[in-house]
Amino acid sequence: MKTQKIVPALIIANVFALIIIGITKWISLYSSDAAGIFVFSDFVIVPMLMGMITAYSWRDFDLTGLEYAKYSIWNAFIAIACAYFFLDEGYICLIIVSPLLAGFVIAGAFLGKAMFRNNGNRMNVSIFSLLLLITIADSITAAPYENEVSDTMIINAPPEKVWPYVVAYEPIKEKEEYWLFRVGMPSPVQSTAEAYCEGAGRKCIFSNGYTFDEKMTVFKPAEDLTFDIVNQPRDPEIMGHIDILRGQFILKDNGDGTTTLTGNSWYRLYVMPSWYFDAWASSVTRNVHLRVMEHIKKLSEKNV
């Protein structure tokens, strides 16, 4: 009996979410800056509205707070499954987004519970409409977010010994330590270079076989290797979410036989809110840097 009352609300909330996300995507196609962006509202306001829809449907049932939380988590879980099947999202992305989604669905459900308990229908309609309006406005005004991540490491070898491994290195065989790599996120494996000069192509190969095609734009031996990414891999975990724009290795001679190696990466995020997704993006980028730089350190120090 209870299931008959719970399930329709979950279905309505998820159909509503798919429609709104479809509309925001469609709107964003007409804005050159925002094309294809998952806006702030898709992960914040839409989940809250989903929670409010269920709270409205359940307002006359005697559900406890624990049940509200439990069914809201189900609501978020169904939304994640829908994203997997209908939006073709990768499972790593869904792991990343799930706490955000569940949190906002629960927030919406409890806000809705309080709103509909007070029976202020006019105010409830206003809040609901306002949130919808913000969603539409958000999808019109959205813009991608760019950031840079920088990491530094001391290598016990002079820059001339380090440099060859910065340009290209043999496959990394060490076990992954970063938890996202261990659950299946592709990790960097190897870099290859077509030639050792400016303008030459370089490839960064990841553990799932996907490759970033790069072009070396600055090639100063033992000092600076900068490369632009000219072709992003067609990985569902990356496509439409993040573009890696540029990478750089700076080598600084410390004058005592050691080198300070700095790895920089620039990326553009297409998923909002940036305060949430940038924390993940910078964490992943940092761990890509560290895996590569640790490998370069090991190879360089072996030959000293």
Partner 1 sequence: MFDFIIKYFSFLKHIPLLPHIFDALIRLQTFVFNKKVLEHIDVIERTVLSWEKTSAGMHQYGGLQFNVNNREIGHIHSNGLVDVLLKKEIKEQLMKEGRVEDHHIFKRSGWVSLHLRTEQDKQLALELLEYSYLLKR
Q: Which is nearer to partner 1, 23 or 69 (CB)?
A: 69
Asked if 189 and 171 touch (Cβ cutoff 8 Å), the reply is yes
Nearest by Cα to 136 from 243, 49, 6, 223: 49
Q: Which is nearer to partner 1, 1 or 66 (CB)?
A: 66
Q: For residue 250, how far is the Cα from the chain centroid?
A: 26
Q: In what order do the strands lie in the sheet containing 188-193?
A: 145-155, 259-269, 242-253, 224-231, 211-220, 201-206, 188-193
Give kind and range of the element (H or E) at residue 219. strand 211-220
Question: Considering the complex, what minimum distance in angstroms separates the CB of residue 273 from partner 1?
Answer: 11
Alpha helices in the chain (DSSP H): 2-28, 40-43, 45-57, 65-86, 91-118, 121-141, 159-167, 179-182, 274-302
Q: Which is nearer to partner 1, 78 or 167 (CB)?
A: 78
Q: Which is nearer to partner 1, 114 or 133 (CB)?
A: 114
Question: Considering the complex, what minimum distance in angstroms separates the CB of residue 52 from partner 1?
Answer: 12
* Three-state DSSP class for residue 245: strand
Question: Considering the complex, what minimum distance in angstroms separates the CB of residue 157 from partner 1?
Answer: 41
How far is the C-alpha of 23 from the C-alpha of 300, rounded, in Å?
53
Q: How many CB atoms lie within 10 A of CB 105?
A: 30
Question: Considering the complex, what minimum distance in angstroms separates the CB of residue 153 from partner 1?
Answer: 30
Q: Which is nearer to partner 1, 131 or 290 (CB)?
A: 131
- For residue 300 the two structure tokens come to 């360089």
Asked if 197 and 219 touch (Cβ cutoff 8 Å), the reply is yes
* Three-state DSSP class for residue 54: helix
Q: Which is nearer to partner 1, 45 or 251 (CB)?
A: 45
Q: Which is nearer to partner 1, 118 or 152 (CB)?
A: 118
- For residue 207 the two structure tokens come to 């553990």
Residue 178's Cβ-count burial label (10 Å; 0-12, 13-18, 19+) is: middle
Q: Which is nearer to partner 1, 99 or 171 (CB)?
A: 99
Question: Considering the complex, what minimum distance in angstroms separates the CB of residue 111 from partner 1?
Answer: 6
Question: Considering the complex, what minimum distance in angstroms separates the CB of residue 69 from partner 1?
Answer: 5
- For residue 85 the two structure tokens come to 């099947």
Q: For residue 166, how far is the Cα from the chain centroid?
A: 26
Instruction: Report the amino acid identity of residue 56.
Output: Y
For partner 1, the binding residues (CB under 8 A) are 64-66, 69-70, 73, 99, 102-104, 106-107, 110-111, 114, 117-118
Q: Are strands 145-155 and 188-193 parallel, antiparallel or unpaired?
A: unpaired
